[in-house]
Amino acid sequence: MTPAIEVQQLSKRYGALTALDDIDLKIEQGEFFALLGSNGAGKTTLISILAGLIKPTSGTARVMGYDVQSQYQQTRQRLGVVPQELVYDPFFNVREMLVMQSGYFGIKHNDVWIDEILFRLDLANKAHVNLRALSGGMKRRVLIAQALVHKPPVIILDEPTAGVDVDLRQSLWQFVQQLNQDGHTVVLTTHYLEEAEALCRRVAMLKQGRVVVLDSIENLVRTIRDYTLLLRLS
């Protein structure tokens, strides 16, 4: 089967700084995959390349078999990205924003699907609320909603639960688990090992632009626990 995401020898340099350093990574369709790494590890850079927002210095990135550089229209139709921050027109309400987002993808009549997304994200009663009047938690839900308007098979979430309270974190976890069960490939970036452990089967750990671990989450957690125990004993 065609991988959902495949990057080969991917690098991104900003002058002397190497944000991504010769990365190879393959994520299969249907996986729930985590990209772990501390600040500046290169997670957002990788997502931005996959989303076609920035160009790699070298290497290739593919989404569902299509090359992000030369087949951008095909890749953008197949990828939904949930960024860290909501960029919005403050005069739009939630529904208007989703209609506008549908328009970006050339979808004219999306009302039934928009209603379904709003319902599933517990936003139905906020459909006509102005975006600037939403709480931070509601804005997070809108971020996810707008990534789903074109029904992409692959969804990438960039630190979806950073800075959210425990209740919202639990409900966002349930939502993305359901997306994965519905057949979407889900990739999330996170600083939290416990988040990856709760949700994902496989994980890549980035450090200074390199993939330093690519393994099952069980193996990673076991290795870290063994290492921590060893440190305590020594």
Residues in the chain: 234
What 3-state DSSP class applies to 107? coil
Nearest to residue 118, comparing CAs of 95, 92, 152, 88?
95
Nearer to ligand ATP, 30 or 40 (CB): 40
- The 190-229 contact track toward ligand ATP, x by CB under 6 A, reads ----------------------------------------
Straight-line distance from the first to the last Cα atom of the chain, in angstroms, rounded to the nearest whole number: 47
Q: What are the angstrom distances between the C-alpha of 123 and each of 90, 118, 173, 181?
A: 17, 5, 16, 21
Report the alpha-carbon distance of residue 110 to residue 96 in Å, rounded: 11
Token duo for residue 63? 């989404």
Q: Does 14 bind ligand ATP (CB under 6 A)?
A: yes
Which of 200, 98, 93, 221 lies closest to 156 in space, CA to CA?
200
Closest distance between ligand ATP and the C-beta of residue 16, in Å? 10
Residue 34 or 99 with smaller CB distance to ligand ATP: 34
Site string for ligand ATP, 38-67 (x = CB under 6 A): -xxxxxxx----------------------
* Count of residues interacting with ligand ATP (CB under 6 A): 11
Residue from 5, 7, 10, 19 touching ligand ATP (CB under 6 A): that is: 19
Tokens of 170: 């639990």
Q: Is 27 or 97 the residue whose CB approaches ligand ATP more closely? A: 27
Span from 12-20, 75-83, 118-126, 194-202 in contact with ligand ATP (CB under 6 A): 12-20
Sheet holding 185-190, edge to edge: 79-82, 154-158, 185-190, 32-36, 202-207, 210-216
> Least distance to ligand ATP from the beta carbon of 17, Å?
5
Query: Which CB sits closer to ligand ATP, 36 or 121?
Result: 36
Q: Is 34 a residue that touches ligand ATP (CB under 6 A)?
A: no
Residues near ligand ATP (CB under 6 A): 14, 17, 19, 37, 39-45
